[in-house]
Amino acid sequence: MSRPGRGEGWITFSVFGLVVMATWTLAIKYLAPLLWAAAERAAGRPVEAAPIMWDFWWVAHLVLATLLWRRHPLAWLTGAVVAVAEIAIVTVKLAVYIRQPDLSFWKLLWLTNKMYVLAFFVVFLALLLKRGKP
> What is the amino acid identity at position 74?
L
Q: In this predicted structure, what is the pLDDT of residue 3?
A: 54
Q: For residues 10 and 79, what is the distance between their CA atoms, to the nearest angstrom?
A: 13
Please give the share of the chain, as a percent, with pLDDT higher than 90.
87
pLDDT at 122: 98
- Residue 6: its pLDDT value, please? 57
Q: What is the pLDDT of residues 58-74, one digit of tens each?
A: 999 999 999 999 999 99
Nearest to 10 by CA among 134, 123, 133: 123
Low-confidence ranges of the chain (pLDDT < 50): 1, 4
Pair 82, 14: CB distance under 8 Å:
no
Long-range contacts of 26-33 (CB under 8 A, 24+ apart): 26/58, 28/53, 28/109, 28/110, 28/112, 28/113, 29/53, 29/54, 29/55, 29/109, 29/110, 29/113, 32/109, 33/106
Give this prediction's pTM.
0.89
